[in-house]
Amino acid sequence: MARHGDITKAVAFPRPTSARLEYRPIEVDDMPAIAALHADPRVAGLLVDGVPDTMAKAYMFVRWNRPFAERGCGMFAVRRRGSDALIGLFSLTPFDGDEALLELGGRLAPAAWAGALAIEAGAAMIDHAFFTLDRDRLISAFHPDHRAAPAALARLGFVPAGPAILFDRAVATMVLTRTAWDAQGRAPRPRRRPGASRSDYGGSAPGTPYAAQDGAATWAARIREYAS
């Protein structure tokens, strides 16, 4: 097992899997892409945790992740199969320091918002948590103004669990049990209507409301679609 201070080598352990995406623990080589991802206000605007938007912060981010990676959880770099380009990060980390309760988190670059990739990545993380890491319950926390996160989580089977305080900030939370995921067929709920839609689990700058990106009516329709 690698020392916690050694962040130059990946640790081997079973990883999440899915049809279109690949996942591996973040590494030093990911630092430029991590910093660039978080420098985009559309991604970082509504995050409730740290924002590693510089190389120095990205280094600390990778180093912070090392002990989690050694246990099969932590922060995962997400790439399309066959591509070297990082398109986002998804994570399973202890919620508010509680090692028994993992929190599902995620953020995608705007170029990857289409095609329900966030739903696919979220489902892969859920399966990994329940059936590789043998957890019985997951939680996800997000900014109360984040409009896309609760809709995407609802499609994955999460249900509202009320407000909480995380990193001294007010957050909304949703939870999912392994029993509920099993009953759902270990898959996201189907959309109400066929057709492509944006799966944005990344964030948006407070000055750029989600409704303004595509029009309020279009966005409201997408929310209903995700939640169905």
Tokens 């999440």 identify what position?
16
Give the pLDDT band of residue 191 (cuts 50, 70, 90). Answer: confident
Domains and their CATH numbers in the chain: 21-227 (3.40.630.30)
Average pLDDT over residues 87-112: 96
Burial 160-197 (b: 16+ CB within 10 A, else e): eeeeeeeeeeebbbbbbbbeebeeeeeebeebeeeeeb
pLDDT in tens, 54-96: 999 999 999 999 999 999 999 999 999 999 999 999 999 999 9
Q: Is residue 6 scored above 90 in pLDDT?
A: no
